[in-house]
């Protein structure tokens, strides 16, 4: 069984659960950098319906923005945007557009599907400036 087949068969975690595990790992592993990884809250379902959604958009919330941002420059990159996905999750068109824009402006962009993939991406980014 390949790694991809294993993930698809056995992973039942939601995107939010995976993201919470990743944030907890980062904060425990890099306590002095804990405030430099933060969420856009785009994937979180908030109460308030359309009215609340309009208020959030007016305040700057933008569809397609990555779930997390690591605001630490590394190598030639200004920071790392992280779009969390489940093993079966797919990137939406506005997320692809956001990815293209941030890469064009000197940021990294990754799309991990598990805690292990997140660890690999963050360590490679912080140690080598790669993603």
In this structure, the number of other CB atoms found within 10 A of the CB of residue 118 comes to 22
What's the pLDDT at 33?
98
Rounded to the nearest angstrom, the gap between the alpha carbon of residue 11 and the centroid of all alpha carbons in its chain is 18
What is the distance between the alpha carbons of residues 111 and 92, in angstroms, rounded to a whole number? 12
Burial class (CB in 10 A: 0-12, 13-18, 19+), 7: middle
Angstrom distance (rounded) from CA 125 to CA 76: 10
pLDDT digits (tens, 9 = 90+) for 115-124: 999 999 999 9
Does 51 or 35 have the greater pLDDT score? Answer: 35
User: In the chain, what are the domains?
Assistant: 15-128 (3.40.1350.10)
The residue with tokens 């000197």 is 106
Is residue 55 predicted with pLDDT exceeding 80? no
> pTM of the full predicted structure?
0.83
**Which has more pLDDT, 53 or 103?**
103
């Amino acid at each position: 069984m390949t790694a991809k087949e294993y993930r698809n068969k056995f992973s039942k975690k939601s995107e939010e659960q995976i993201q919470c595990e990743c944030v907890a790992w980062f904060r425990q592993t890099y306590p002095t950098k804990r405030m430099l990884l933060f969420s856009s809250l785009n994937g979180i379902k908030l109460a308030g319906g359309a009215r609340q959604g309009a208020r959030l958009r007016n305040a700057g919330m933008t569809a397609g923005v990555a779930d997390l941002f690591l605001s630490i420059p590394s190598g030639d990159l200004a920071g790392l945007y992280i779009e969390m996905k489940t093993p079966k999750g797919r990137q939406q068109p506005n997320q692809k557009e956001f990815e293209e824009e941030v890469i064009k402006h000197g940021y990294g962009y990754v799309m991990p599907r598990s805690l292990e993939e997140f660890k690999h991406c963050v360590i490679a980014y912080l140690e080598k400036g790669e993603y």
